[in-house]
Amino acid sequence: MKPEKHAREEIDQLLELAGWKVQDLRELNLSTSHGVAVREFPLKNGIADYILFVNRIPAGVIEAKPKGTTLSGVTEQSQAYIASIPRNLPVIQEPPPFAYESTGTETFFRDLRDPSPRSRRVFAFHKPETLAEWLAQKDTLRKRLRNLPPLITDGLRDCQIEAIRNLEKSFADDRPRALIQMASGGGKTYTAISFVYRLIKFANARRVLFLVDRSNLGRQTKREFQQYITPDDRRKFVELYNVQHLTSNVIDPVSRVCITTIQRLYSMLKGETEFDETLEEHSVFEMYPVDGTTREITYNPNIPMERQ
């Protein structure tokens, strides 16, 4: 089997797992599903490997490449396909904003509406419902992260103020990975909750995952969320938003914050319905020493990227 064909077969499988109906152009029927991925769609300047339709409207493209291709080098190609989508098709935004590049084993994604659009690695394709929700929003999350209101500093230590402001600057500068380092007793959890509150209220974050490596730390974190008084509203965090400390392998769909151990999350992503709670009593770093081993998981339709 040619590498290109193998990549497309794996992309087809990933799309179907995420809820897309994959069709060839000759069998095109956009009414069969909320999300339809059409293979080899003719455009002005070539043939797009896939055009993604959400509610019959083109939302984006997928550029398929054989395994081993450096995907960061093909972004211009998917961008060109987006720009050449026929204007006689119904569109919400012009051009459609979502671009993927994928080999089937590695996938990059970008939203052209971001202040500084860039490709980032994703685990799989987003569900059609997610793209529809994003299309309906006025701004993207990355844009909202650039417009957070001034921090209310009452009750915060100088080190906490510095940490939150620098974290928000990092996010606004499109650097999503950041580390807050504080001495023991410096108020790390309170700092994290203060930022989580701002992230949910002002950036409209759909859900925040709070990872710990032992169950007792999860219980302590849940208590701190329960005690946290919001600085502007003056109500408790849990009066405004649902906080779930996972004690089963089921995520409450209304929770805005999920607290869980790394061990349980790994079990959930593997699709296990039951989990031995004793595995959460000791640090995951004690149980699985860092040795460079990669622990593989596959796509779990019950916990897509959007629910994590």
The confidence score (pLDDT) of residue 93 equals: 67
Q: Are residues 260 and 211 in the same domain?
A: yes
Burial class (CB in 10 A: 0-12, 13-18, 19+), 32: exposed
pLDDT one-digit tens code per residue, 128-178: 999 999 999 999 999 999 999 999 999 999 999 999 999 999 999 999 889
Q: Are residues 161 and 48 in the same domain?
A: no
Q: Are residues 73 and 158 in the same domain?
A: no
Q: Are residues 78 and 113 in the same domain?
A: yes
Three-state secondary-structure class, residue 244:
strand
Is 90 exceeded by the pLDDT of residue 68?
no
Final residue of a domain: which of 93, 119, 137? Answer: 137
The confidence score (pLDDT) of residue 1 equals: 66
Mean pLDDT, the chain, integer: 90
Q: φ, ψ for residue 155 (rounded to 5)? A: 85, 0
- Measured at the alpha carbon of residue 85, what is the angle toward residues 79 and 91, in degrees to the nearest 5? 110
Q: What is the 3-state secondary structure (H, E, C) of 252-305?
A: CCCCCEEEEEHHHHHHHHCCCCCCCHHHHCCCHHHHCCCCCCCCCCCCCCCCCH
pLDDT one-digit tens code per residue, 92-126: 667 899 999 999 999 999 999 999 998 899 989 99
d(CA 287, CA 190): 28
Q: Are residues 114 and 157 in the same domain?
A: no
Q: Residue 232's domain is classified under what CATH number?
A: 3.40.50
Q: Are residues 133 and 186 in the same domain?
A: no
Residue predicted with more confidence, 221 or 73 = 221
Final residue of a domain: which of 137, 158, 185? Answer: 137
The strand pairing partners of 39, in sequence order, are: 24, 50
d(CA 34, CA 23): 13
Q: φ, ψ for residue 129 (rounded to 5)? A: -60, -35
Which residues, at least 6 apart from 5, have a Cβ–Cβ distance to it below 8 Å? Answer: none
pLDDT one-digit tens code per residue, 11-51: 999 999 999 999 999 999 999 999 999 999 998 878 999 99
Q: Are residues 131 and 183 in the same domain?
A: no
Q: Are residues 28 and 72 in the same domain?
A: yes
Burial 57-95 (b: 16+ CB within 10 A, else e): bbbbbbbbbeeebebeebbebbbbbbebbeeeeeeeeeb
Q: Contact, 108 vs 121, CB < 8 A?
A: yes
Which residues, at least 6 apart from 163, have a Cβ–Cβ distance to it below 8 Å? Answer: 180, 182, 191
Is 90 exceeded by the pLDDT of residue 297?
no
Residue of 81, 93, 25 whose CA lies nearest to 57: 93
User: Among 44-48, 138-142, 199-203, 304-308, where is mean pLDDT lowest?
Assistant: 304-308
Grade residue 3 by pLDDT with cuts at 50, 70 and 90.
Answer: confident
The confidence score (pLDDT) of residue 84 equals: 81
Q: Are residues 234 and 168 in the same domain?
A: yes
The confidence score (pLDDT) of residue 308 equals: 47
The confidence score (pLDDT) of residue 184 equals: 84
Range of the domain at 248: 142-307
Alpha helices in 109-235 (DSSP H): 128-136, 141-144, 158-172, 188-203, 215-227
d(CA 303, CA 308): 7
Grade residue 227 by pLDDT with cuts at 50, 70 and 90.
Answer: very high
Q: Are residues 125 and 162 in the same domain?
A: no
Mean pLDDT of 265-279: 90
d(CA 87, CA 95): 9
Final residue of a domain: which of 91, 111, 137? Answer: 137
Q: Are residues 168 and 192 in the same domain?
A: yes
Structure tokens belonging to residue 308: 């994590």
One-letter amino acid for residue 173 of the chain: D
d(CA 169, CA 151): 12
The number of angstroms, rounded, from the C-alpha of 35 to the middle of its chain's C-alpha atoms is: 19
Q: Residue 129's domain is classified under what CATH number?
A: 3.90.1570.30
The confidence score (pLDDT) of residue 183 equals: 86
Total domain count, the chain: 2
The number of angstroms, rounded, from the C-alpha of 148 to the middle of its chain's C-alpha atoms is: 20
Q: Are residues 130 and 9 in the same domain?
A: yes
pTM of the model: 0.88
Q: Contact, 40 vs 49, CB < 8 A?
A: yes
